[in-house]
Amino acid sequence: MWRIVLAVIAATVMAGASIFAQSGGGAPMASSSSSAGPLAHSCGTPAAQPAGGRGQQPIFPPGQYPVKLPAVSLLGARNDLPNPYQAGVDWGQLPEGRKWGSTASVVTAPDGTIWVTDRCGVSGAGGTTCAGPNANVNPVFQFDTSGKLQKSWGAGMFVSPHKLIVDKNGNVWMADNGGHQVFKLTQDGKVLMTLGKKGVVGAGLDEFDAPTEVAIAPNGDIFIADGHTGGGTAVGNARIMKFDKDGKFIKTWGKKGMGPGEFDVVHTLAFDSRGRLFVGDRQNNRIQIFDQDGKFIAQWFQFGRPSGIYIDTRTDTIYVADSESRDARTNTGQLGLPQTGYAFNPGAQRGIRIGSARDGSVKSFIPDSCTYPYSGGSSLAEGVTIDAQGNVYGADFLGTVRKFAKKKDGSLPFAWNEKGPSGFGERGGVHAPRALDPFRVARRRIRRELHPSADDATSGIGNRGPGAPLRRVHQRRRNGRLDESHGRRA
């Protein structure tokens, strides 16, 4: 008997350990066959601890950091919403020997294929990640939804790719923030249009300063987010540029600042079904909404710090990737905030918030598996998209693309903390169905092994609790003590 008990307990503990490895204190480890880059599962934690001296911060044991994130951030982004997705897994089959570099971009094309651009296998942003020795490396990839590579191209074409999109006609648009240009291309990489001057930074009407993303209006007008430079400072472009479908300049709006219609790091763009333009104003920790003439409509803080926005225009479901929210705290012995205050968004957990582009409500949340306080400047996803089945994909600056598959049973998330599984009884945290509690699972399995005829109801044990009368009837029927014709005790 005790062999059975011990075997069941061991199996349950192993299952719990597997869940912990996937959703516990840090990012899950990459498999040997993964295309993830070397930093993808590091959470940005420095390889070496600080030497000490002035400014040295204490380092606490895992799970014992004394400051916790609140349920709602100071600007109203909720951290306590249900997660209807499974843990993210590395995705995308790259050519032999190729690993993901930093990426901020993953997008679904009208034909259902998924496109990604990275920085030629290099970790970093801006600069010349795809130039010099990396000029022979392809940064653009097309996959089917299984992750099988369809094609790759782009070697020598871009200085440092930031985000790409695929418009309704299948054209690929690339924002090259290292080269300060925007390209319209065929799906085989043939250039159809170029905006901006290579290597020229400026505020002119034909110039950019690290453009970040393109959005194409239903009528073909081109909207460009410009730019990425000078977050938290007074320098760099901070505007939306509008061109017609042929690349003729129409207008621009925005400047550096914090008021409505002002920006600081315009990082991502998307249109909803009504043709409203959603702008990820990242350093201001908000989404701003405009009509296509630049008239301010609203600003939303409840989706966190927007690095990437995807809107499913069939339903106006909005997916917002927050890869950078942090304060000055880390658990690495070092302070984690630059002097500019860049990325300061206290109380917000990193992850992907999902809600309605129609009313701004936030319904669910895919949390970053890297735990607070964050070790590095970015993690989980800077770009986000979905496939036709509603699975979510995130492009990670640390060097991977992850797929978050929808949970088939629609159950709420299952999380762990240092005390064990959260969401059960008084242990708090994110709630999960009671049937997922590994201790309940172990008890039921032990009962089945020791008493094969025992009822396997999930609502209770023995003949007590909800459903007990029906269980007693079943038990009496098995024991031959029930008169079937009248349903009375024999």
- DSSP code string of 70-126: -SB-TTS-BS-----BPPPEE---PPTT-----EEEEEE-TTS-EEEEESTT---SS
Q: Which whole number is the average pLDDT over 443-449?
A: 56
133 in helix, strand or coil? helix
Which of these ranges, 14-18, 193-197, 218-222, has the smallest mean pLDDT? 14-18
48 pLDDT more than 60: yes
Question: Which uninterrupted H or E stretch holds 184?
Answer: strand 181-185
Amino acid at 383: G
**pLDDT for the residue numbered 19:** 31
| pLDDT per position as a tens digit, 92-102 | 999 999 999 99
Which of these ranges, 15-19, 82-86, 297-301, has the smallest mean pLDDT? 15-19
What is the rounded (10 degree) CA torsion for 317, 321, 327, 332? Answer: 140
| pLDDT per position as a tens digit, 167-191 | 999 999 999 999 999 999 999 999 9
444 in helix, strand or coil? helix
**pLDDT for the residue numbered 16:** 34
Please enumerate in sequence order all residues whose Cβ is within 8 A of that of 233, keeping only pairs 6 or more positions apart, or say none: 340
Q: Are 253 and 260 in contact (CB under 8 A)?
A: no
Distance CA 350, CA 341 (A): 17
Domains of the chain, each with CATH number or no CATH: 89-405 (2.120.10.30), 463-490 (no CATH)
Q: Which whole number is the average pLDDT over 262-279?
A: 98
Q: Are 119 and 137 in contact (CB under 8 A)?
A: no
Question: Is the pTM value of this prediction over 0.85?
Answer: no
Distance CA 317, CA 411 (A): 20
Number of Cβ within 10 Å of residue 476's Cβ equals: 14
Distance CA 220, CA 275 (A): 12
| pLDDT per position as a tens digit, 418-432 | 333 333 222 223 333
Confidence of residue 39 (pLDDT cuts 50, 70, 90): very high
215 pLDDT more than 60: yes
Please enumerate in sequence order all residues whose Cβ is within 8 A of that of 290, keeping only pairs 6 or more positions apart, or say none: 240, 253, 261, 276, 277, 279, 296, 297
**pLDDT for the residue numbered 56:** 81
**pLDDT for the residue numbered 32:** 67
Percent of the chain having pLDDT more than 90? Answer: 72
What mean pLDDT, rounded, does the chain reach?
Answer: 84
Confidence of residue 28 (pLDDT cuts 50, 70, 90): low
* DSSP codes, 297-362: EEEE-TT-S-SEEEEETTTTEEEEEE---B-S--SSSS----TT-TTB-TTPPPEEEEEETTT--E
